[in-house]
């Protein structure tokens, strides 16, 4: 569901196309020590099983950069190395076979070192994502003049969030955009165009306006996210609002829901955002009623049980769980398969038409069998 999809320059991360007319990809980041190959690979396998398309690994030291070789070889999805200030780690990550880099050239600054990274990335067709985060913006008036960890957002909080349309007042959003353009120019000056961009803040309005602004200026693919969004509950909602607004406007080629939780929860939330906007073509879509006094069964428990058994499905089924056998089939008539529970029994229906009546004590097992039958037909 796009109003007007912004067509960006296609790039490849491994075998996955980003940008152009390709589907929006869901990313996450490992939370294991990258130097621990076994733990990291196991987490990546779990992420992949739950619908993650691309994974990023932090690279804080040489041991982690070296470990990436075995991680990449055992990963079923493309691996991106997250580098901050040490160009040697970027070169080692490239040598280890990563599929992408998350690196701000402005953090390195030395042109010869950046050139070295760019030349090696070009040889292997490795894209670089520039990530502009509100928390690490350079001071106002000092874009390109500070270095490394000395960069901080002095004076940024005093700026208005967004410029008034009738004035040329400098704003936080404008500062983010100019910072991004400075970082992009460093790579473009070296004739490197295999670029992806992100513009993240905790504040939704700032994030949305920054992404809107940069998307009008540059042709590169856009990675969406709300930085430091919070825990599973609050962070998923904050991310869904911000990311959803941008996707609906046609902006965004990859997304990550950043949560203080298991990264699998990030992937689940990301895929659910895409499915809610009809941008995800695989995986079950669950429709369920909230429950009320008319419900004769624990609809909350039943809906969560069905959600669990369909979580890893790749089929495009729409499945409904309703708490009323009278209204349920009609209210969920566009569902491929549904169940509506009543007193001591439940109705299983397809496209709003009753298929069979089962006892309530076996309804979950019976419903699971029907789901499996439909999935078998699809495959």
Residues 292, 203 share a domain = no
pLDDT in tens, 150-165: 455 688 888 888 887 7
Q: Among the three residues 276, 296, 318, which one is the final residue of a domain in this structure?
A: 276
Q: Is 111 part of a structural domain of the chain?
A: yes
Q: 217-241 pLDDT, tens per residue?
A: 999 999 999 998 899 999 999 999 9
Span 309-335, mean pLDDT? 78
The total of structural domains in the chain comes to: 2
Q: Does 359 fall in a domain?
A: yes
Kindly state the helix (H) or strand (E) to which residue 288 belongs, with its residue range. strand 285-288
The closest of 1, 16, 63, 50 to 254, measured between CA atoms, is: 16
Residues 82 and 108 in one domain: yes
| Whether residue 345 is found in the same domain as residue 306 | yes
Long-range interactions of 316-320: CB distance < 8 A, separation 24+: 316/281, 316/282, 316/283, 316/284, 316/285, 316/378, 317/284, 317/285, 317/371, 317/374, 317/375, 317/378, 318/284, 318/285, 318/287, 319/284, 319/285, 319/286, 319/287, 319/371, 320/286, 320/287, 320/288
pLDDT, residue 217, reads: 97
- Asked if residue 211 has pLDDT above 90, the reply is yes
Same domain for 296 and 265: no
Q: What is the mean pLDDT of residues 128-132?
A: 97
Q: Which of 236, 253, 276 is the last residue of a domain?
A: 276
The yes-or-no verdict on residue 149 having pLDDT over 50 is no
Which has more pLDDT, 29 or 366? 29
Q: Are residues 200 and 300 in the same domain?
A: no
Identify the weakest region by mean pLDDT among 56-70, 106-120, 145-159, 358-372: 145-159
pLDDT digits (tens, 9 = 90+) for 160-202: 888 877 677 899 999 999 999 999 999 999 999 999 999 999 9
Asked whether residue 2 carries a pLDDT value surpassing 90, the answer given is: no
| CATH code for position 314 | 3.30.413.10
Q: Is residue 317 included in any domain, yes or no?
A: yes
Answer yes or no: do 145 and 31 share one domain: yes
In a domain, 5, yes or no: no
Residue 6 lies in a domain: no
Residues 56, 144 share a domain: yes
Q: Residue 305 belongs to what domain range?
A: 285-378
What CATH number does residue 106 fall under? 3.20.20.20
Residue 225: predicted pLDDT: 97
Helices (H), 216-362: 232-248, 263-276, 299-310, 328-331
Q: Tell me, what's the pLDDT at 69? A: 98
Are 195 and 305 in the same domain?
no
Residue 1 lies in a domain: no
Q: What is the enclosing helix (H) or strand (E) of 42?
A: helix 37-49
| Better-scored residue on pLDDT, 119 or 363 | 119
For position 153, what pLDDT does the model report?
Answer: 64
Percentage of residues in the chain having pLDDT higher than 90? 61
Report the pLDDT value the prediction gives residue 172, as an integer from 0 to 100: 93
In a domain? residue 3: no
* 2, part of any domain: no
Same domain, 240 and 337: no
Last residue of a domain, one of 256, 276, 296: 276
pTM: 0.89
Measured distance CA(148)–CA(184) in Å, rounded: 17
Same domain for 243 and 359, yes or no, is no
Q: What is the pLDDT of residues 14-72, one digit of tens each?
A: 999 999 999 999 999 999 999 999 999 999 999 999 999 999 999 999 999 999 999 99
Q: Say how far residue 209 (Cα) sits from the centre of its chain.
A: 19
Q: Is the pLDDT of residue 147 over 60?
A: no
Looking at the structure, do residues 161 and 232 belong to the same domain, yes or no? Answer: yes
Residues 141 and 239 in one domain: yes
Higher-pLDDT residue of 285 and 94 is 94
């Amino acid at each position: 569901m796009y109003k007007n999809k912004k067509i960006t320059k296609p790039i490849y991360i491994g075998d996955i196309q980003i940008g152009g007319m390709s589907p929006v990809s869901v990313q996450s980041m490992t939370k294991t020590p990258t130097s621990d190959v076994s733990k990291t690979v196991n987490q990546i396998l779990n992420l992949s099983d739950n619908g993650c398309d691309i994974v990023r690994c932090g690279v804080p030291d040489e041991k982690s950069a070296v470990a990436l070789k075995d991680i990449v070889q055992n990963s079923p999805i493309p691996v991106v190395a997250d580098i901050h200030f040490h160009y040697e780690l970027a070169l080692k990550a490239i040598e280890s076979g990563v599929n992408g880099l998350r690196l701000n050239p402005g953090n390195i600054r030395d042109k010869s070192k950046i050139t070295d990274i760019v030349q090696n990335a070009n040889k292997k067709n490795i894209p670089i994502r520039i990530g502009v985060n509100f928390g690490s913006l350079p001071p106002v008036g000092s874009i390109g003049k500070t270095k490394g960890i000395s960069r901080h957002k002095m004076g940024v909080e005093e700026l208005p969030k967004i410029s008034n349309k009738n004035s040329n007042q400098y704003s936080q959003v404008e500062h983010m955009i100019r910072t991004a353009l400075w970082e992009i120019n460093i790579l473009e000056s070296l004739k490197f165009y295999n670029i992806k961009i992100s513009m993240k803040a905790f504040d939704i309005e700032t994030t949305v306006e920054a992404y809107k602004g940069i998307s009008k200026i540059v042709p590169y693919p856009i990675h969406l996210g709300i930085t430091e969004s919070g825990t599973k509950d609050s962070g998923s909602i904050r991310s869904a609002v911000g990311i959803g607004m941008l996707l609906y406007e046609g902006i965004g080629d990859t997304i990550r829901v950043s949560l203080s939780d298991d990264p699998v929860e990030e992937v689940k939330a990301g895929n659910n955002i895409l499915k809610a906007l009809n941008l995800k073509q695989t995986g079950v879509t669950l429709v369920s009623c909230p429950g009320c006094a008319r419900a004769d069964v624990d609809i909350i428990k039943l809906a969560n049980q069905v959600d669990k058994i369909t979580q890893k499905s790749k089929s495009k089924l729409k499945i409904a769980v309703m708490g009323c056998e009278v209204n349920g089939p009609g209210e969920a008539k566009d569902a491929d398969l549904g169940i509506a529970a009543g007193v001591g029994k439940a109705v299983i229906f397809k496209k709003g038409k009753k298929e069979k009546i089962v006892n309530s004590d076996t309804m979950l097992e019976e419903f699971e069998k029907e789901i499996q039958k439909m999935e078998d037909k699809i495959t």
